[in-house]
Structure 1
Amino acid sequence: MSEPVPGQGDRQSRRRGGRHWVVAAVGMPALLAWGLLVVRLNGRYVECVTEHGPTSTDMIDGVAGPCYSITMRAVVVYLGFLAALVATVVVGVVLGVVDGRRRCRFAYARWVCVVVVGLTGTLALAAYALAYGLGRLLPAHRPPRHRPQPSDVALQQGWIEAIRLHQRLARGEPPPTVVALGFIGPGVVYLDAPFTYSRFYGTTVTYGQSSTFAVGSPMFVTGSVVGDMIGNSVARSRAASLAQPQWREFTYARVVVTPTTTWCSLGGRWLAFDHDAAMEYTIDGPNCVLTFAEVEPLRLSGPSAWHHAVMFAYARYGPAQWQDAPFLHPLREAARSLATPNPRFPQQNREHV
C-alpha cells in the first residue's frame, strides 16, 4: 500500500528551471550600457588630455587640473565595470559546471535568453559554454537519497491502518476493540492512542504602557516621547495578536474513543467530548477538528487521526451510513483504489486485499 497521506504529499510546484537565465538576460544589457559609458568617458578623457596636456590630470599644490574630475570618474566606472565583468564570468563558469554535472539542458533551453546574453555578454556566455562542456565530462551529480523521518513513517503507518479499518468495517465486520488499561469509563474502547491536544479560542491580554518624564533639550524630550509612543504601539500590537482567536493549550494527551464519547486525559484529568454534541468534523492530514456549539473547538493531531475519523463516523452515523461521511472521502477513495483488481499485477492484488 503506497497511498500517500492527504496533506502530506509532495507540494513542490513543477516550475521550469533556469530562472537565473531570465535575470541574466535582463541584467546583461545593463552591463553593456555600463561598458558603453566606460568607452564614452575614455573618449572624453583622451580629448581633455589632448587639449590641456598630460599634467591636467594631476593635483598640483592642492589645485585640481581641468581633467582631474574626468579621470577620477573614468577610473571608478572602469573598475566597477571590470569587477562586474569578472563576476559574470565566474558565475558563468560555476553555473556551467553545475548544470553540466546535473545533465541539465544547455541554459535550460531558454534560447531567447541565450541570444540576449550572447549579444550583450559574449564573454560570460562563452565561459558558461566551456564550463558546461567540462561539467558534462565530469561524473554526474547524484542527489542524496531522501531518508524518511520517523514522523513521516508514523503518519504513513497510521494512514495504512485507517485504510485497513475502513475495509474491515465496509465488509460488515464489527469494529475492533482494544484494552485501555487504567480507563474504566462506560462502553467498549475502539481507540487508545496519544495525540497532540489543542483548543481554539481568543482571550484577553493585558499589557503595560511606559511613560518617561524627560527633562532637557527639546530634541531630547521629543525623542523620549517618540520612543514611548513606539514602545507602547509595539506592546499594543503584540497584545492584540496574542488575544486573537487561535489554537492554544498545546499538550500531549491520551485519547480514548468509545461508541459515544472521545475522552482526553490531561494531567490525570479526563475531559469528555460527546460525539452527538459535535456540530462539525473536519480532518486535514494528521489533524482532526471537532467543532461544538457551546465549547471551544477541539483539535487532535497525530498518526491515528484517520483512525479516529473512521471510528467517529461509525459511532455517530451507525453501521448503515458511516461510509457516507464527507470527511472520509479521501480514505474511501484510497480503499476503493486498493480494492480494484489490477490485471497487470495479480500478486499485488492478493497482498492488498
Structure 2
Amino acid sequence: MGGLIPGNAPRRSRPRGGRRWVVAAVVTPALLALGLLAFRLNERYEGCLAEHGPTSADLIDGVYGPCYSAMVLGDTLSLAFVAVFAATIVVGFVLGVVDGRGRRRFAYGRWVCVVVVGLTAPWGLLAYALAYGLGRLLPARRPPVYRPPPSAVALQHGWIEAIHLYQRLARGEPPPSVVAPGFIGPGVVYLDAPFTYSRYYGTTVTYGQSRTVAFGSPAIVAGAMIGNLIGNSAARSRAASLAQPQWREFAYARVVLTATTTWCSLGGRWLAFDHGAAVEYSINGPNAVLSFADVEPLRLTGPSVWCHAVMFAYARYGPGQWQQAPFLHPLREAVHSLAGPGPQPQQPDAGHG
C-alpha cells in the first residue's frame, strides 16, 4: 500500500546473452591454426632428423645440432595446444552445466557461432552439449531475490507513513502530536525525527603561493619555474572550486517541527527556521530544501522528509489550503489513486517546488 518512492524499485535490464559464444567463435579458429602450426613443425622436425640423423638435435661439443630449434619450437607449440585443448573442454563443460541448469537456450541461440566452434573445436562443443544436457536434468537454479538496501526500506516506510498522515489530515482529524524529550521550545511538537542537515552557500578560501629559487643550468631553472607555476595554478583552481556555492556543514541533526518553526539540534545547539520566512519549499528524492530571503537555504535529508513536507504545508497554509501545496503533488496523486481504481502510481524523480 502506498506506491513506491522513486529510485527504490529494482531496475532489471535484459542482459545480452551469448557474448562468450562470439568470443569463442573468434578464438577457436586461432586454436585450430595453432594446432596446424604445431603439426607442421613436428613434420619439419621429423624431416630434419631423417636428413641429418637422430643425433642432430643433441648438444655435441657445446653446439646444438641443426634440428634443435625445430624440436624446441614444435614441442612448445604442441604443449600450448594441449593446454588450450584441455581448457576448452573444461570451460565448455562448466558453461554447459550453468546454461542448462539456468534453463537458457542452447548456446543462447548463437547458431552461426555454434557452427564455427563445431568446425574449429568440436571437442569443446561436444563437452558443452553433454554438460548442457546434464544441467537440464539438475534442479533449476532459483533466480536471485532482490533485497533493497536498508536506506531504501527506510525511505519506503517514511513514504507510507506520510500517506497515512496525509489521509488522516484530509479527513479533518487534528495533526498528531508527539513527545519530544529534551525539547524546551514553545508550541506542540508534530514531528521529531533524525535528518542529515546541510546549508547551501559560497565562501572565501585562502591558499598559499609557493616561490621557488633554482640555481643551475637554464633548463633546470626553467623546469623549476614551470613546476612552480603549475603548482600555484592547481592550488588556485582548487581554492576557486571550494569557494563556489555548494552544500556544506553536513551533520546529523535532530529535527523538531512545531506549528510555526522547524528546529534543528546540532551538537546541543538549537537552530530555528521560521515557516513564515520560507520563500520556497521543494522535495527532490529524500531531500527537502527550504529557501529563505535572508539566510542560506536549508536541506534536510532522511526517511521522514515527506512527513515533514505534510506538516510544513499544514502549518504554513492552514487546514483549508494545505492540500494545494505544489510540493505535495506526488503524495496527493498517490492518496487519490488509493481512494479509486487504477494502479498505484510511482513518485516522479523530479523535485516539486
Quickly name the TM-score band, shorter chain normalised: 0.7 to 0.9
- The TM-score, its normalising length taken from structure 2, stands at 0.75
Q: 1:163/1:82 Cα in 2 relative to 1: closer, same or farther (>3 Å)? A: same
For residue 143 of structure 1, report the CA deviation from its aligned partner.
Answer: 5.0
2: CA distance, partners of 1:259 / 1:337: 29
2: CA distance, partners of 1:48 / 1:294: 95
For residue 266 of structure 1, report the CA deviation from its aligned partner.
Answer: 0.7
CA contact (8 A) 2:2 2:163 kept: no
Match of 2:273 in 1: 273
Of residues 301-310 and 234-243 in structure 1, the stretch that sits farther from structure 2 once superposed is: 234-243
Q: Match of 1:299, SS? A: strand
Of residues 332-341 and 309-318 in structure 1, the stretch that sits farther from structure 2 once superposed is: 309-318
1: CA distance, partners of 2:281 / 2:33: 62
1:257-283 C-alpha deviation (Å, 9 max, x unpaired): 233432111111111233454455443
Match of 2:74 in 1: 74
2: CA distance, partners of 1:26 / 1:293: 65
Letter in 2 for 1:8: N
CA contact (8 A) 2:191 2:308 kept: yes
Match of 2:113 in 1: 113
Q: Higher relative contact order at CA 8 Å, sep ≥6: structure 1 or structure 2?
A: 2
2: CA distance, partners of 1:115 / 1:139: 29
Q: How does 1:181-200 map to 2 (within 5 A)?
A: 181-200=181-200
2: CA distance, partners of 1:91 / 1:142: 22
CA contact (8 A) 2:283 2:289 kept: yes
- The TM-score, its normalising length taken from structure 1, stands at 0.75
1:305-326 C-alpha deviation (Å, 9 max, x unpaired): 1211222334445555544545
Of residues 260-269 and 182-191 in structure 1, the stretch that sits farther from structure 2 once superposed is: 182-191
For residue 156 of structure 1, report the CA deviation from its aligned partner.
Answer: 2.4
Whether 2:14 is the aligned partner of 1:14: answer: yes
Match of 1:65 in 2: 65
Match of 1:218 in 2: none
2: CA distance, partners of 1:115 / 1:122: 9
Q: How does 1:18-29 map to 2 (within 5 A)?
A: 18-29=18-29
Of residues 43-52 and 200-209 in structure 1, the stretch that sits farther from structure 2 once superposed is: 200-209
Letter in 1 for 2:301: S
Match of 1:253 in 2: 253
Match of 2:86 in 1: 86
Q: Match of 1:263, SS? A: strand
1: CA distance, partners of 2:105 / 2:315: 57
Of residues 90-99 and 334-343 in structure 1, the stretch that sits farther from structure 2 once superposed is: 334-343
Identity of aligned residues (%): 75
Match of 1:349 in 2: none
Q: How does 1:1-353 map to 2 (within 5 A)?
A: 1=1, 3-142=3-142, 145=145, 151-200=151-200, 247-278=247-278, 280-292=280-292, 295-319=295-319, 322-341=322-341
Q: 1:194/1:135 Cα in 2 relative to 1: closer, same or farther (>3 Å)? A: same
Number of aligned residue pairs: 342
- Measured on the aligned residues, the alpha-carbon RMSD in Å equals 4.2
CA contact (8 A) 1:57 1:64 kept: yes
1: CA distance, partners of 2:291 / 2:64: 81
Letter in 2 for 1:81: F
2: CA distance, partners of 1:48 / 1:170: 98
**Structure 1 unaligned spans of 5+:** 215-223, 344-353
Letter in 1 for 2:334: A
CA contact (8 A) 2:96 2:128 kept: yes
2: CA distance, partners of 1:194 / 1:77: 68
Q: 1:17/1:189 Cα in 2 relative to 1: closer, same or farther (>3 Å)? A: farther
1:277-308 C-alpha deviation (Å, 9 max, x unpaired): 44554434433333456544433222211211
CA contact (8 A) 1:96 1:129 kept: yes
Q: Match of 1:252, SS? A: strand
Letter in 2 for 1:20: R
CA contact (8 A) 2:2 2:335 kept: no
For residue 110 of structure 1, report the CA deviation from its aligned partner.
Answer: 3.3
Q: 1:135/1:193 Cα in 2 relative to 1: closer, same or farther (>3 Å)? A: same
For residue 14 of structure 1, report the CA deviation from its aligned partner.
Answer: 2.7
2: CA distance, partners of 1:101 / 1:63: 58
CA contact (8 A) 2:261 2:273 kept: yes
1:96-129 C-alpha deviation (Å, 9 max, x unpaired): 2222223333223333433333333322221111
Q: Match of 1:249, SS? A: strand
CA contact (8 A) 1:8 1:285 kept: no
Q: 1:288/1:143 Cα in 2 relative to 1: closer, same or farther (>3 Å)? A: same
1:55-105 C-alpha deviation (Å, 9 max, x unpaired): 333333332333323332333233223222222221221122222223333
1:132-165 C-alpha deviation (Å, 9 max, x unpaired): 2112222333356556665444332211111112
Q: 1:136/1:61 Cα in 2 relative to 1: closer, same or farther (>3 Å)? A: same
Of residues 128-137 and 39-48 in structure 1, the stretch that sits farther from structure 2 once superposed is: 39-48
Q: 1:332/1:40 Cα in 2 relative to 1: closer, same or farther (>3 Å)? A: farther
